């Protein structure tokens, strides 16, 4: 009998690759309620500006998918024991927004049936946890163990006018459940919304949580390289462009094109007129390029480098942001020469 070969995890790699290439994850158009409890203003600003876009491996995408399936199971089980859980009419999550760039999506709204308060309406928030995280949650409660989740529920209660939330947690290791009712705190909710409005309207990058690259909350952050090492974004889109501005009404405008409103899909794509935001590169901003107010000049490795859109066909010394951040990144970081215009 021929022996079965030892497994080499080939199937795992194939499945992870499938999730990677079929993922429809894209940056959110808004600053999500699930993020606003994050301790770092800079991370929130960078996230909202799409200056740091996390690229998740297939295994993590599978975990996200599992979390979505657990939500469906929890809602099914709650309904089975008499809890009246409502979803949006089209079966999607309820949304809340506050007239600007802060918003979020609820897992559900409970109309009635929670045993401790059968007639009371609740915002429903469902989370999955590792064994360690779940045990900490049971010991400390959601406010102390998971402050970002607590903040998320406060924002949802503020947006719906419902003054209670039900936090439902499931342990991924042993399927234990934990439920906690949360009371609305108007001061907390208002402070979170105010913070979101302040950060989404800020043109300049906020200070980081810590200037120490070894700080425990910084070490594994997706923005660690930008904050503590290269100080350069890797993302070229409208929100990393110096021409674009977030408006109080929840839209984005482009100064290059007569303050036209930029649709979401166009924001993702960016354009060749892109000028790198001065807070997202490590170079000194010299000023506008000669006679071309839509291009900027940065000092890179001791030389003046125009960045933006060429004003005419003869103006061939202007570098697009993609050329600087993607094509020439390694040469710039190593101090090598790139094609420069003499001043």
pLDDT tens for each residue of 299-336: 998 889 999 988 766 566 789 999 898 877 666 666 66
Give tens-digit pLDDT for 38-73: 999 999 999 999 999 888 888 878 887 888 889 999
Give tens-digit pLDDT for 213-267: 999 999 999 999 999 999 999 999 999 999 999 999 999 999 999 999 999 999 9
| Domains delineated in the chain | 23-201 (3.90.320.10), 233-333 (no CATH)
Give tens-digit pLDDT for 139-184: 999 999 999 999 999 999 999 999 999 999 999 999 999 999 999 9
pTM recorded for the entire structure: 0.88
With tokens 């929890």, the residue in question is 74
Taking residue 203's Cβ as centre, other Cβ atoms within 10 Å add up to 9
């Amino acid at each position: 009998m021929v022996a079965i070969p030892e497994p080499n995890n080939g199937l795992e790699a194939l499945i992870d690759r499938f999730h990677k290439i079929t993922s429809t994850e894209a940056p959110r158009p808004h600053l999500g309620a699930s993020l606003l409890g994050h301790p770092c203003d800079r991370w929130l600003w960078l996230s909202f500006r799409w200056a740091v876009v996390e690229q998740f491996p297939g295994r993590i995408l599978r975990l996200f998918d599992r979390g979505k399936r657990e939500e469906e199971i929890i809602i099914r089980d709650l309904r089975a024991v008499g809890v009246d859980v409502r979803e949006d009419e089209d079966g999607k999550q309820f949304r809340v927004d506050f007239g600007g760039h802060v918003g979020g999506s609820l897992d559900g709204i409970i109309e009635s049936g929670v045993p401790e308060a059968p007639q009371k309406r609740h915002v429903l928030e469902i989370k999955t946890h590792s064994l360690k995280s779940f045990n900490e949650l049971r010991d400390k409660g959601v406010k102390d163990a998971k402050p970002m989740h607590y903040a998320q529920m406060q924002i949802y209660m503020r947006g719906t006018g419902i003054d209670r939330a039900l936090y439902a947690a499931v342990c991924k290791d042993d399927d234990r459940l934990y439920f906690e009712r949360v009371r609305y705190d108007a001061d907390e909710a208002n402070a979170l919304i105010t913070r979101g409005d302040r950060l989404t309207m800020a043109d300049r990058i906020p200070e980081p949580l810590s200037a120490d690259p070894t700080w425990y909350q910084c070490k594994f952050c997706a923005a660690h390289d930008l904050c503590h090492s290269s100080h350069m974004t890797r993302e070229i889109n409208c929100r990393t462009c110096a021409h674009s501005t977030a408006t109080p009404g929840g839209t984005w405008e482009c100064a290059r094109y007569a303050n036209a409103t930029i649709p979401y899909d166009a924001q993702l794509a960016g354009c060749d007129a892109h000028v790198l935001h001065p807070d997202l590169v490590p170079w000194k901003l010299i000023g506008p390029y000669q006679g071309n107010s839509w291009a900027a000049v940065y000092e890179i490795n001791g030389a003046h480098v125009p960045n933006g859109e060429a004003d005419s066909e003869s103006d061939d010394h202007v570098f697009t942001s993609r050329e600087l951040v993607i094509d020439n990144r390694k040469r710039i970081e190593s101090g090598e020469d790139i094609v420069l215009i003499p001043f």
